[in-house]
Structure 1
Amino acid sequence: MKSNSSSLIKLFILQWLAVVCVAQNFDFFYFVQQWPGSYCDTKQSCCYPTTGKPAADFSIHGLWPNYKDGSYPSNCDPDSPFDQSKISDLSSSMRRNWPSLACPSSNGFTFWGHEWDKHGTCSESVLDQHDYFASALGLKTQLNLLQALKTAGIQPNGQFYSLNSIKGAIKAGTGYTPYIECNVDVSGNSQLYQIYMCVDNSGTNLIECPVFPRGRCGSSIEFPSF
């Protein structure tokens, strides 16, 4: 009986350690922002939030823990579900800066809950739920991507720009090299969709990306209006 109890205790300890290790041992974050015009200008289209059309600016998609080998942890702690009461003081800022464009229209909580459950729970050793969302909002304020592009003469006006000029403008404006993700509009054109920047595993400081996601854009991509 004593032996069985000891075995069960060891098993629980190993399971706890496995969860802790998964949650702690990531190397950096991808901080991902998306251009709403490109999200909406696809065959899937989009739905504006219940609060109305978002501003014509990049918005947050997520803050995602990653490993240097290109893989990433996910859904690390099912015992730490999203609790909207923990971010009540951030809600108005999140509605402005982290809107959901998925259909049907929503108030954003489902989107934010997904981001926390899938990605945020894997960084709990560094950021609790409130700090996770607050860090992302702070990074967006720090990184004015649209202004960096406009300074270089790159406007969201439906024109095509070289991929290198977009990367160069963001590097000049932020000091760090971005990864650019494209999607395809209803006419089949490659368009500027998401911009990835890398952040250290404290969720605070920008760094050069240890590794970029797979995928590539064309050499000339559209920057649609919104």
Structure 2
Amino acid sequence: MGKTGSSLLAKLVLILSFAVVALGSNTVTNLKAFYLVQQWLGSYCNQAGTKCCYPEWGKPSPDFTIDGLWPYSGDGNFAYNCGDDNYDVGRIKFMQDELRKSWPSFTCPQIGRKFWVHEWNKHGTCTKSVLGEIPYFEAALNLKKQANIYQALAKAGITPGNKFYSLKDIKRALARSIGFHPWVRCNHNAQGHSQIWQVTFCADKSGKHLIECPYIPSGRNDCASHIQLPPYY
């Protein structure tokens, strides 16, 4: 091979090397836990400037519903967007009724299955070495049953409405009922009141059993000392 050919080959190898690094930069190389994020859609929908729509199959019963299942790696990062995937939504049709109940979206116009596709493409593709397309959704649904936030709060007398509750009481109620400490995030309604929005519990590397979260991102203590659990949308 001549010098020109050798030079072109070297450049090609270098380009491919960079491509491999780029594609692999977000993969989970040291999976440590899964973070199951649940949200109260009442708090999402009552923010200033936010419009929500009920799903075409009707308004779900009040509940904390799945926002996502995030893989967390030992280097302190949440992997995401780990490459394109040929997502076949038809493969999870058999669990569609349960997904509609436990993993709905109130976005307008209603995006339905696109929400599940988005979550798989953003987070699920990073778990393919541990959970495939179907096990990923099954894991999220099973973990939600283990972390029944709405039920845990109701047992402690914390119910939707305009009343303010102590953030400490909310965390204590969740920890006592579910057995693990939650990561609670808040947002603000149109009146500027702090309200519970997301609650996260963690699972082990298999995605089957709840564990204590190994890491809580800094700068996420965005709740006031007393917060609301607003009416469901």
Task: Assess if the C-alpha contact under 8 Å between 1:24 and 1:124 holds in 2.
Answer: no
1:154 aligned counterpart, secondary structure = coil
TM-score where L is the length of structure 2: 0.87
Q: Alpha-carbon deviations, 1:194-216, whole Å to 9, x = none?
A: 10111112111111111113322
Query: In the aligned structure 2, how far is the partner of 1:145 from the partner of 1:84?
Result: 28
The structure 2 residue matched to 1:220, chosen from 222, 226, 229, is: 226
Query: Partner of 1:90 in structure 2?
Result: 95
SS of alignment partner, residue 22 of structure 1: coil
Say which one has the larger Rg. Answer: 2
Is the deviation greater in 149-158 or in 187-196?
Answer: 149-158
Q: Which residue of 2 aligns with 1:29?
A: 34
Instruction: State, as a whole percentage, how many aligned pairs show the same letter.
Output: 45
Equivalent-residue separation in structure 1 for 2:166 and 2:74 (angstroms)? 28
Measured in 1, the distance between the counterparts of 2:70 and 2:26 equals 17
Provide Cα deviations, 1:117-170, integer angstroms capped at 9, x if missing partner: 000000000000000001101111122111111111111122110100000000
Unaligned runs of 5+ residues in structure 1 are none
**Structure 1 partner of 2:72:** 66
8 Å CA contact retained: 1:24, 1:125? no
CA distance in 1, matches of 2:211, 2:75: 16
Could you say which residue in structure 2 is the equivalent of 1:150?
154
2: distance between equivalents of 1:158 and 1:125?
45
1:169 aligns with 2:187: no
Residues 166 and 148 from structure 1, CA distance in 2 versus in 1: closer, same or farther, beyond 3 angstroms? Answer: same
TM-score (norm 1): 0.89
8 Å Cα contact 2:193-2:228 kept in structure 1 = yes
CA contact (8 A) 1:74 1:119 kept: yes
2:125 match: 121
The 1:38–1:18 alpha-carbon spacing in structure 2 relative to 1, beyond 3 Å, is: closer
Hey, what does 1:46 align to over in structure 2? 52
Q: Confirm or deny that 1:196 pairs with 2:196.
A: no
Aligned length: 223
CA contact (8 A) 1:68 1:210 kept: no
CA shift in 2, pair 1:187/1:21, >3 Å: closer
Checking the alignment, whether the CA contact within 8 Å between 2:26 and 2:80 is kept in structure 1 is: no
Task: Give RMSD over aligned pairs.
Answer: 2.5
Amino acid at match of 1:115: E
CA distance, structure 2, for counterparts of residue 15 and residue 112 of structure 1:
27
Unaligned ranges ≥5, structure 2: none
